[in-house]
Amino acid sequence: MTCSRFLLFTSAIVLVTPLTAQTVQAVQTTVDLSRTMVPMPAAKFQKQATAASSSISIDDSKRFQVIDGFGAAFVEGSAYLLQHELTATQRADVMTKLFSPTQGIGLSAMRLPIASTDLSRTHYSYDDMPAGEQDPAMAHFSIEKDRVDVFPTVREALKLNPRMTLIASPWSMPAWMKTKPTMNGGMLREDAEPAFAKYLVRSLQAFQQEGIKPQYLTIQNEPLNETKDYPGTLLKADQAKRFIGRDLGPALRAAGLKTQVLAYDHNWDHPEYPLEVTADPAARPFTAGSAMHCYGGAVNAQDGMHNADPTKGIWMTECSGGTWQKQAPLATTADLIIGSTQHWAKAVVLWGIALDPKGNPHAGGCGTCRGLLTIDSSQHPAKITWNGDFYALEHASKFVHPGAVRVASEATGSGVQQVAFRNTDGTIALLAFNAGDANQSLSLNWRQRSASVTLPAHSLVTYTWNGR
């Protein structure tokens, strides 16, 4: 555990390095992870222009969406590994590294499943009933299965980072509410919509009793995917807007809950779905915006969504790493973070926090997903491997804090992806990724000054300076 503590210590050093308006500091991670969060030489802003093959110009007077943060999902399978396959010292170190804003990377936007997902050990809802029986009064409602591992994990994360945004999402309503007597597939019956609204309200109330208060709620994970071997429900836009406007929204208001609804919770390829829901006069007052996934379509669909309804936000709520990806994990997740936020996302949330080397625990669904860390409990104590997705999140979450705003930035030259933010304390954070084989000489242009920096090949770099 000496190594883990050293990593936490060095991360803290990087975080507290003083910043000035004249000095640009930078940290680098390579795609092959041979260098992770390594400090680079500082650069100075000068009044005269600097010669470089490429440039990034930052205009922090032009400000866009407010950032909630970056994170992953509190799936039951990951919580089980954290609670049972690590020693107490390992678990404390892992949780600190994930969630502490001062000693770790400060993950601050997390998804909280309502009952089971495919990354759970079993399938369950909070109101399971014997075949043929129903429970519209919720007399048998129980959160006991998530009291074991999930809620202790969430509470520890909240203790480490109280400024956390939580997005609650069900993968399926109880089977007795559906057109098929199973959590896997089928649709929500219209006559069961009031009961489902009550179920979601009871879930949020139960979370609050556990000290957990989600700010946002989606009504169905991936509603256009009728699953076969794990919890899921086909729930089309016309039913979603009716349910939110007629049943769920009024039920949330009657219960005094301030949780706002995010429409859709699915891929970029059908932006018309969330726009239809948020435009509905009955549903609109209860919606904060849309939740998006990365598995279909292109990220620029978010531009059209923002342009069509600029008063509603966009959150990237799921994008998993996995063996199907052709790029290295750091490259894939760097592309997601930069692209999503450049196209209006207020948060970027990956999938499971932790899995074992075989992609377990999972019950159906994704057997090829990758967590932020891999826990190999065939060794004692367990071997912990931090994956490229974690380091990509670190480049964002350590330096872009809740309440930051994206600011205007533009790159010239080829092969550079970038996005810039201004934190509430005035610091500027610029994420830049070079997927090419050659180092890039960059001129950073800001407020009629420029600084000469290097963006190494196959690297993600975060540049920071005091913007006051």
* Residues with catalytic roles: 222, 318
Give how far Cα 399 sits from Cα of 161, 394, 430, 431, Å: 15, 8, 9, 9
CB 205 within 8 A of CB 158: no
Buried b (16+ CB within 10 A) or exposed e, 213-251: ebbbbbbbbbbbbebeebbbbbbebebbbbbbbebbbeb
Residue 361 backbone class (left: φ over 0; alpha: ψ -120 to 50; beta: rest)? beta
The stretches of 17-73 forming alpha helices (DSSP H) are: none
Amino acid at 54: S
Q: What gap in Å lies between CA 358 and CA 221, rounded to an integer?
A: 24
Q: Which residues pair with 348 in a beta bridge?
A: 70, 316
Question: In this structure, what are the phi and psi dihedrals at residue 279, rounded to the nearest 5 degrees?
Answer: -85, -15
Closest listed residue to residue 320, CA positions, set 299, 336, 343: 336
Preceding peptide of 18 cis, ω within 30° = no
Alpha-carbon radius of gyration of the chain: 22
CB 230 within 8 A of CB 123: yes
Secondary structure (3-state) at 161: coil
Q: What gap in Å lies between CA 32 and CA 329, rounded to an integer?
A: 9
205 contact partners, CB below 8 Å, separation of at least 6: 255, 257
CB 81 within 8 A of CB 355: yes
| DSSP assigned state of 51 | -
Give the burial class of 323: count Cβ atoms within 10 A of its Cβ; 0-12 exposed, 13-18 middle, 19 or more buried. Answer: exposed
CB 356 within 8 A of CB 374: yes
Q: Which two tokens stand for residue 307?
A: 């342009």
Q: Which two tokens stand for residue 464?
A: 């920071």
CB 65 within 8 A of CB 419: no
Q: What gap in Å lies between CA 351 and CA 320, rounded to an integer?
A: 5
Q: Which H or E run includes 169?
A: strand 165-170
Secondary structure (3-state) at 114: strand
